[in-house]
Amino acid sequence: MRIRPSEITPEPVYRSRREFLAGIAGLGAAAAFAQTSSAEQVMNVMLIERLQYKHNARYSTTEAANSLADITGYNNFYEFGTGKDDPARNAGSLRPRPWSVVVDGECEDKGRYTLEDLLKPHALEERIYRLRCVEAWSMVIPWVGFPLGDLVKRLKPTSRAKYVEFTTLMDLKQMPGQRSHVLDWPYLEALRMDEAMHPLAILAVGLYGKVLPNQNGAPLRLVVPWKYGFKSIKSIVRIRFTERMPATTWALSAPSEYGFYANVNPEVDHPRWSQKRERRIGSDSFLSRQPTAKFNGYAAEVASLYSGMDLARNF
Ligand SMILES: Nc1nc2c(c(=O)[nH]1)N[C@H]1C(S)=C(S)[C@@H](COP(=O)(O)O)O[C@H]1N2
Ligand SMILES: [Mo]
């Protein structure tokens, strides 16, 4: 059932709330309203959590998006367990607001930014991207976010910055899966600076028009659509610019299986399985296995970033 906001609140209240909603202001407001519990306030939270954004057709696939149930029910987020249904069950302990992000390393505008301050200058867009997991399954997800490159520029990297590193929250209370030693915590990922500046790389704050569910990496996660899903780090608390290539979690855990680049590549098999095909989640017939496209279908946009590189060695 769809309830129009105007049916719930008197018109003037609704209008001021809409102005308030402009941009990303709603993220902070949701936390404030969440302190109270009346039915009206709960409804306010739902309204505020509907983001304002424009659809970006140029950077969106026309393939059918996966259902919200698939996108929020089949996840990799080891901080909440290693089963695909663990994050949906366990991520309720994450508190995505209030939230802040530390910016440091080789840049001028270092500091601790509240989520609101970090997001304020950026207009949100919807981008429908394929997500190709290294485990040979894929989904199509309507993200809401903004170009990572716009934020990188704003933080003024120095001439020494060659990479940008991202860190996930480390907190055993909020992320009970971190009690297990399945990975080294906190989860770390990184991009070369030219990859980070590419217009396809985004920071996402929502999907299907609403703020990110916890299991998808609330409140802020990276999405790099031409790379295997593990590069798209969730629940980011730190952004650091570096001169040297940072160590990244999966490459540390199994260096012969997961590299720094992790570009989707059907020509380079994982040592334990083929990467030639993928299973689209939600269509469970084996006939639905489809060929994997190089760079996950974004070769025209990103192949030039790697010209002259041996992608079998730099996997
Ligand atoms: N912090 C963190 N980020 C993470 C992961 C994780 O375990 N921890 N899993 C990665 C993997 S392997 C994939 S495929 C995607 C899945 O994103 P989704 O659950 O939103 O589809 O998140 C990536 N980001
Ligand atoms: Mo993945």
Among protein residues, the one with the nearest Cα to ligand 1's atom 1 is 234
Distance 1 CA to ligand 2 centre (A): 34
How far, in Å, are 83, 112, 210, 295, 301 from residue 138 at the CA level?
16, 35, 22, 13, 20
Among protein residues, the one with the nearest Cα to ligand 1's atom 14 is 229
CA-to-CA distance for 47 and 186, rounded, in angstroms? Answer: 33
Amino acid 302: pLDDT: 98
Work out the burial of residue 10: count CB atoms within 10 Å of its CB; fewer than 13 is exposed, 13-18 middle, 19 or more buried.
Answer: exposed
Which residues, listed in sequence order, are joined to residue 139 by a DSSP beta bridge? 131
Alpha helices for the chain (secondary structure H) = 5-8, 11-21, 26-34, 39-48, 68-73, 86-90, 115-119, 148-154, 193-196, 249-253, 299-302
CA-to-CA distance for 234 and 207, rounded, in angstroms? Answer: 13
Express as a percent the part of the chain with pLDDT over 90: 82
- In the CATH scheme, what is the code of domain 51-306? 3.90.420.10
Cβ atoms of 71 and 208 within 8 Å: the answer is: yes
CA-to-CA distance for 97 and 38, rounded, in angstroms? Answer: 20
Cβ atoms of 226 and 264 within 8 Å: the answer is: yes
Given the CA of residue 141, which atom of ligand 1 is nearest to it?
Answer: 21
CB of 168 closer than 6 angstroms to any ligand 1 atom = yes
Q: Give the sign of the dihedral formed by CA 144, CA 150, CA 151, CA 152.
A: positive
Ligand 1 pocket: which of 67, 188, 230, 239 to mutate (most atoms within 8 A of CB): 230
- Its pTM stands at 0.87
Among protein residues, the one with the nearest Cα to ligand 1's atom 24 is 233
- The residue-averaged pLDDT of 158-175 equals 98
Given the CA of residue 228, which atom of ligand 1 is nearest to it?
Answer: 14
CB of 75 closer than 6 angstroms to any ligand 1 atom = yes
The pLDDT tens digits for 128-166 are 999 999 999 999 999 999 999 999 999 999 999 999 999
CA max distance for the chain: 62
Looking at all shown ligands, the one closest to residue 213's CA atom is 1
* Nearby residues of 8 by Cβ (< 8 Å), 6 or more positions away: 14, 40, 43, 47
CA-to-CA distance for 111 and 7, rounded, in angstroms? Answer: 43
The pLDDT tens digits for 187-229 are 999 999 999 999 999 999 999 999 999 999 999 999 999 999 9
The pLDDT tens digits for 16-75 are 444 334 444 444 444 444 444 455 555 545 445 789 999 999 999 999 999 999 999 999
CB of 129 closer than 6 angstroms to any ligand 1 atom = no
The SS3 call for residue 8 is helix
Spell out which residues have Cβ within 5 A of ligand 2, the ion: 76, 133-134, 229-230
Structure tokens at 129: 């991207």
Amino acid 8: pLDDT: 43
Looking at all shown ligands, the one closest to residue 87's CA atom is 1
How far, in Å, are 31, 122, 156 from residue 160 at the CA level?
38, 26, 11
